[in-house]
Structure 1
Amino acid sequence: MMKYLQKLGRSLMLPVAVLPAAAILMGIGYWIDPEGWGSGNVLAAFLIKAGSSIIDNMSILFAVGVALGMSKDKDGSAALSGLVGFLIVTTLLSTDTVAMLLSIDVANVNPAFEKIANQFIGIISGIIAAVMYNRFSHVQLPTALAFFSGKRLVPIMTAATMLVASAALFFIWPVIFTALVSFGEGISGLGATGAGLYGFFNRLLIPTGLHHALNSVFWFDVAGINDISNFWAGTGTKGITGMYQAGFFPIMMFGLPAAALAMYHTAKTKRKKQAASLMMAAGFASFFTGVTEPLEFAFMFLAPALYVVHAALTGLSLFIAATFHWTAGFGFSAGFVDFVLSFRLPLANQPYMLIVQGLVFAVIYYFLFRFLIVKFNLKTPGREEDEDVADEDANGVASTTGNKFSGMAASIFEGLGGDANITSVDYCATRLRVEVKDMNAVNQKKIKDTGVPGINVVGPQSIQVIVGTSVQFVADEIEKIRK
């Protein structure tokens, strides 16, 4: 199960990598025009819309990215199938369609269906598409239906499967969503403790997108709290209104960037540069704009236990801020931009103390994350086993020319026993991951003679050929030979 979650986490790296840039664009645009959100400034509108085109469609990116990453040979038809699956379920369970199916007015449709296009649905669509690809991409249909054989069959099977999934979600999704809203209403009267519980479950539900159900209770007018609007309108109680927002600032501005630094410092030596690129961009997005998904999705599946620790610390932060009545608010998210904009609002109460709290949480996050990662060998970005390089010379293969890729691939293919022995070929960042029928038929010396840094036999039918950062090009050439 853990390996499956880690594979899922690696699959999300492709879409996650683009999110920090989008978040920063939106943050800058919002800073330029904090009241009009682009309506009062052309440049702000340009930046906000450019960033929101990505952030607002994160679920679609996840559907495509997960399908691509979880498919056995990273084929584009899997990604297309992920998109197909997502479009089917979100269309069938949209408020308009549900109203038509139930023959009721749109206004009477369960609010849960307004939130159906979330990250959880995107991930589920991607997983189903990948399963369909791995199962049906090589199926040959009878001659009359031959056009739909193989990879063309995958989107069709994905569509059929998503029909069943949509039927199940039609009944399941409203129950889950409504239960969370009721849960939020139940804890809303617990004062600072309720704020802490809200913060904990808010983060814990991020992977599913169900945090929106809780947010609707505390931030908006579902249960009469309406924390965001009341704070910015100045209609509330100083030190109380804003209690469901303030505790996020120490986490998003200080805690998570410190966690990013810890993950960078604990990354494998040969992958520090790659880890630094992601951690720096995601950490800055979290601090500046309060968009945390790029950083959280970078480790929530790779190290789920660590993510639970993060959720607990978030709950603690909201509890502390609410206990001492330190308040600040946000219109976009709890980043630097909103902190500055809300600093002088009438209901902002000692907001500078949130900076002090944030500095303390930065220390806690850094040392706690670093300790847990090293102590339990958690597979945070840069520490995944499949991504390790066994020798210093691994990167040397990256300078190989295109012609040499062909020759190297041919030799490796022959050394693995050719089509008669190879069952499947996959690759990660540095390794070919090959399934063979008979390990005795593999000529390891012939493979090593190509100049690869090493070979790792991981099972009776599983072998990894460590190529280096240019592994994709070698894998592509092997696929050409197999065809």
Structure 2
Amino acid sequence: MMKKLQKLGKALMLPVAALPICGILMGLGYAIAPGVMGVPGAATSGALYNIGFLLIKAGGALIDNMAWLFVIGVAVGLSDDRDGTSALAGLVSWLMMTNLLSTGVVTTLMPAIADDPVKTLAFDKIQNVFIAIIAGIIGSACYNRFKSAKLPDWLAFFSGKRCVAIVTGLVSIVVSVVLLFVWPIIFGALVSVGEAIIGMDGIGAGIYAFLNRLLIPTGLHHALNNVFWFDTIGLGDLSHYWAGDVTGQNGVTWSLGMYMSGFFPCMMFGVFGAALAMIKTAKNKKAAIGLVLSAAICAFICGVTEPFEFGFMFLCFPLYIVYAALYGIFTVITYYVGFRAGFCFSAGATDLVFSSFLPAANNTLMIIPLGIAAFVVFYLVFYFAITKFNLKTPGREDEEADFAEADKNATLANNDFTAIAAAVLEGLGGKENVASLDNCITRLRIEVKDGTQVNEKKIKEAGVAGVMRPSQTAIQVIIGTKVQFVADEMAKML
């Protein structure tokens, strides 16, 4: 199971890499044009407003449609040969499920749901990352299984890859029917949990923050957010905060801002500490810096943490649980030290600055000691956990980081990538014997159908640096940093 999660995490690297710059653009946009998010007294017109608005919309183009990126990324990443047909299949599954499970369709099929606000809310939030990942998995699985399907002559036109989208659609209908009954039950249970912890003061806020982060991969955090941030059950921490209310007025019976404040030290400073720990412990530091540092900057400026979180949550889910727990702990601390801040978008520096002018803000400068503490604690906890338990974070995935170091001096006999690929393929027993082809940073990774047909001597004669056989059917051909060119040529031959 862990290996499959790590493979899913690797598939998510491509779409995740596109997100940090978008988050930074949105943060700069909100800083330039706070009027876009309704900050009282902020300008809502003029040149600066238009520039900020443009940046926000440019960043939001991907951030707001992140699920679409994940559908395609997962579908292609989990397919055997990275064929675009798998992306189409994933998109078919996503469109099918989100349409069948939309509120309008669901309430038509089951009118009673329209009278249940919690179930209605559940289907209002169906276009989330969890459904996107499911759609991507369905698309890739159907592609891998049916890409070579042979149908009777009268249906021959739909054989092979043309039948993948059709099968995907049928599977997606079945999955949608299952989710029709399962999704509102899970969503409703989480709403009930939220209602149960409302009266627990700081401890309840900490439990909420922990569950909020823990549920990010599933999209079910919306169930809790609607309990605490908005007026779903008469609470509305976010809506009352930005309306200019204070505790004791307009029905605010709790410490206003308590369900938002704890996110600020974690998102602004804690993520930076965790990112530094990942970079320090990475074997492939360039890969780690490229992903987590830009994601940490994104989190600091505007509180968009998904690029950082999705970068490691599936590679190492136990560490993600620890990460979520740290949010809970710091939320409890912020409650009792009296730090109060709110966000309209998310808990980044932009929202912190503008929310500090609202009546409910309190002890804003406490963000400095809280932030320093969050940075240190996140760094130490992540560094200890990664090194003690050899956890797989960016730059440490599987054995790839080790390969990069061990094979960094590997060279090919020549740069005729086509000839090398053809010779390696011959040594593998021909294309009929190859079940799958992949590559990491420096090696071809091949699964063969019959290991006895592999001729290692012939593969080495192709001019490669070496051959390894982790199992009877798994072959690793050491190429070096030019591995992608050989892999591309071999993929054409296959």
Task: Please report the TM-score for the alignment, with normalisation by the length of structure 2.
Answer: 0.92
* Deviation sequence 1:174-218 (CA, Å, 0-9, x none): 111111111101101110010000011001000001001100011
Find the aligned partners of 2:368 and 2:67 in 1 and give their Cα distance: 32
Distance 1:357 1:138, change over 3 A: same
1:325 corresponds in structure 2 to 338
Q: How many residues align?
A: 478
1:11 partner letter: A
User: Deviation at 1:420?
Assistant: 4.5
Residues 180-195 of structure 1: matches in 2 within 5 Å?
180-195=190-205
User: Deviation at 1:430?
Assistant: 3.2
Is residue 342 of structure 2 the alignment partner of residue 342 of structure 1? no
Q: Of 217, 224, 235, which residue of structure 2 is paired with 1:225?
A: 235
Is residue 475 of structure 2 the alignment partner of residue 463 of structure 1? yes
Q: Does the CA contact (< 8 Å) of 1:63 and 1:83 recur in 2?
A: yes
2:40 corresponds in structure 1 to none
User: Deviation at 1:397?
Assistant: 5.3
2:26 corresponds in structure 1 to 26
1:445 corresponds in structure 2 to 457
User: Deviation at 1:475?
Assistant: 2.0
1:479 corresponds in structure 2 to 491
Find the aligned partners of 1:457 and 1:243 in 2 and give their Cα distance: 56
* Deviation sequence 1:83-103 (CA, Å, 0-9, x none): 110010001111122233235
Find the aligned partners of 2:132 and 2:273 in 1 and give their Cα distance: 29
Find the aligned partners of 1:180 and 1:337 in 2 and give their Cα distance: 30
Residues 290-309 of structure 1: matches in 2 within 5 Å?
290-309=303-322
Is residue 256 of structure 2 the alignment partner of residue 241 of structure 1? yes
Find the aligned partners of 1:159 and 1:178 in 2 and give their Cα distance: 28
2:419 corresponds in structure 1 to 407
444-453 vs 312-321, greater mean Cα deviation: 444-453
Q: Does the CA contact (< 8 Å) of 1:390 and 1:453 recur in 2?
A: no
1:257 corresponds in structure 2 to 272
User: Deviation at 1:419?
Assistant: 2.8
Find the aligned partners of 1:400 and 1:189 in 2 and give their Cα distance: 70
User: Deviation at 1:442?
Assistant: 2.1
* Deviation sequence 1:249-276 (CA, Å, 0-9, x none): 11000111111111111111xx211211
Find the aligned partners of 1:164 and 1:352 in 2 and give their Cα distance: 53
Q: Of 66, 70, 80, which residue of structure 2 is paired with 1:62?
A: 70
SS of the residue aligned with 1:131?
A: helix
User: Deviation at 1:105?
Assistant: 9.5
Q: Does the CA contact (< 8 Å) of 2:269 and 2:372 recur in 1?
A: yes
Distance 1:429 1:86, change over 3 A: farther
1:127 corresponds in structure 2 to 137
Q: Does the CA contact (< 8 Å) of 1:398 and 1:469 recur in 2?
A: no
2:151 partner letter: L
298-307 vs 389-398, greater mean Cα deviation: 389-398
Task: Please report the TM-score for the alignment, with normalisation by the length of structure 1.
Answer: 0.94
1:274 corresponds in structure 2 to 287
454-463 vs 124-133, greater mean Cα deviation: 454-463
Find the aligned partners of 1:256 and 1:329 in 2 and give their Cα distance: 19
Q: Does the CA contact (< 8 Å) of 1:386 and 1:431 recur in 2?
A: no
Distance 1:193 1:262, change over 3 A: same
2:11 corresponds in structure 1 to 11
Distance 1:391 1:456, change over 3 A: farther
Find the aligned partners of 1:471 and 1:153 in 2 and give their Cα distance: 32
> Which structure 2 segments of 5+ residues have no match?
38-42, 249-253
Find the aligned partners of 1:92 and 1:39 in 2 and give their Cα distance: 38
185-194 vs 33-42, greater mean Cα deviation: 33-42
1:79 corresponds in structure 2 to 87
Distance 1:391 1:371, change over 3 A: closer
SS of the residue aligned with 2:36?
A: coil
> Which structure 1 segments of 5+ residues have no match?
none
Q: Does the CA contact (< 8 Å) of 1:394 and 1:453 recur in 2?
A: no
Find the aligned partners of 2:432 and 2:189 in 1 and give their Cα distance: 55
Find the aligned partners of 1:436 and 1:357 in 2 and give their Cα distance: 54
Distance 1:399 1:122, change over 3 A: farther
SS of the residue aligned with 2:431?
A: coil
Distance 1:390 1:12, change over 3 A: closer
SS of the residue aligned with 1:370?
A: helix
SS of the residue aligned with 1:85?
A: helix
Distance 1:393 1:204, change over 3 A: closer
Find the aligned partners of 1:393 and 1:435 in 2 and give their Cα distance: 20
Q: Does the CA contact (< 8 Å) of 1:386 and 1:428 recur in 2?
A: no
Is residue 220 of structure 2 the alignment partner of residue 205 of structure 1? no
Q: Of 355, 366, 372, which residue of structure 2 is paired with 1:353?
A: 366
Find the aligned partners of 1:283 and 1:391 in 2 and give their Cα distance: 26
Q: Does the CA contact (< 8 Å) of 1:219 and 1:225 recur in 2?
A: yes
Find the aligned partners of 1:399 and 1:322 in 2 and give their Cα distance: 64
1:55 partner letter: I
User: Deviation at 1:424?
Assistant: 2.6
Find the aligned partners of 1:354 and 1:469 in 2 and give their Cα distance: 44
461-470 vs 232-241, greater mean Cα deviation: 232-241
Is residue 109 of structure 2 the alignment partner of residue 101 of structure 1? yes
2:428 corresponds in structure 1 to 416
Find the aligned partners of 1:29 and 1:97 in 2 and give their Cα distance: 36
